[in-house]
Amino acid sequence: MALLEVENITLTFRGLAALMDVGFSVEEGSITSLIGPNGAGKTSMLNCISGRYTPDSGRITLDGQDLLAMPAHRRTTIGLSRTFQNIALFKGLSVLDNLMVGRHGRLDYGLFAALLYWGPARRAEDRHRRRAEDIIDFLNLSPWRHQAAGRLPYGVQKRVELGRALAAEPKLILLDEPMAGMNLEETEDMARYILDIRDEWGATVLLVEHDMGVVMDLSDQVVVLDFGSVLAHGTPERVRTDPAVVSAYLGAEDAAFAGR
């Protein structure tokens, strides 16, 4: 069953087409990767799904609900969260407080209760904090729990951002190049976390990543974009051997040489 449906999405900037008639689906419980050369439109597609961009035309639904009909903050409350290609943490806040920010869409008490901090508000705060602590344990962030996020090593900051997205209890989590800038050990750790997010935390994953080894190992389905259009869509095995995909990544002449 498709959790996310993207239908005929077109996005232009002052006449320049970033996405042209893009359509694909993401099955519930899957890891689907969105790949393509630089400038293919991958991050633009995530921005359309998350609400940073409004496409010119098309339709996007999450679990049957029309995402384009709601503002970005509302999309979080129905089960969508994301990380960013460039780390977007609150650098002056601690790791724990950054994760608590991710819980904001799950707050279920009013302003009056929050000001008095009693009864329902206190119980809800305890519940949200326990969830944040579970994520800290899951991502092995305990040594940095109370440290300012902006002072942490790059790879740890990437984990904190992943944790903040996970704190929203997403049905679908959008990961924009979560391994970018990481060394081999950090990349392997992040790959395991992504698998566990799907298998243990029950979230469906839409992943943008340039590391083809990671993509082919993790993905159930792969969508290939090139110049803003869908070039291929299928299993990793099918996409890996698709002549059009090979040509897009290597160039026509190199692809022909590689096939000899």
**DSSP code at position 79:** T
Residue position matching structure tokens 């993790």: 218
165 domain-assigned: no
| Residue 164, in any domain of the structure | no
Map tokens 């991502």 to a residue.
Answer: 139
- Residue 72 maps to a domain: yes
Residue 24 sits in a domain whose CATH number is 3.40.50.300
Phi/psi at 94 (5° precision): -70, 170
Judgement on whether residues 14 and 122 belong to the same structural domain of the protein? no
Which own/partner contact pairs does 11-15 have at CB distance under 8 Å and 24+ positions apart? 11/41, 11/44, 11/48, 11/53, 11/55, 11/56, 11/228, 12/56
Q: Which residues contact 162 (CB under 8 A, 6 or more apart)?
A: 83, 139, 175, 178, 190, 193, 197
In terms of residue numbers, what domain contains 18?
2-79+170-258
Average pLDDT of span 148-165:
96
Q: Kindly tell me if the per-residue pLDDT of 172 is higher than 90.
A: yes
Rg (CA), the chain: 19
Q: How confident is the model at residue 126 (pLDDT cuts 50, 70, 90)?
A: confident
Please, how many CA atoms are within 13 Å of residue 63, restricted to the half-sphere of its CB? Answer: 13
Q: What is the pLDDT of residues 27-85, one digit of tens each?
A: 999 999 999 988 899 999 999 999 999 999 999 999 999 999 999 989 999 999 999 98
Walk across the sheet containing 16-27 and list its strands.
Answer: 16-27, 2-13, 57-62, 65-66
Q: CA–CA separation, 50 vs 62, rounded Å?
A: 11
- Number of domains present in the structure of the chain: 2
Q: What is the pLDDT of residue 251?
A: 59
184 and 246 belong to one structural domain:
yes
For the chain, give the mean pLDDT. 90
- Per-residue HEC secondary structure of 3-24 comes to EEEEEEEEEEECCEEEEEEEEE
> Do 240 and 179 share a domain, yes or no?
yes
* Rounded CA separation 72/81 (Å): 10
Q: Confidence class of residue 116 from pLDDT cuts 50, 70 and 90?
A: low
- 221-257: per-residue pLDDT in tens? 999 999 999 999 999 999 988 998 888 775 554 444 3
pLDDT over threshold 80, residue 259:
no
Q: Nearest to residue 57, comparing CAs of 104, 94, 22?
A: 22
Whether residue 9 sits in one domain with residue 64: yes
Domain assignment of residue 213, yes or no:
yes
Residue 128 phi, psi (nearest 5): -65, -40
Same domain, 179 and 147: no
The pTM for the full model equals 0.89
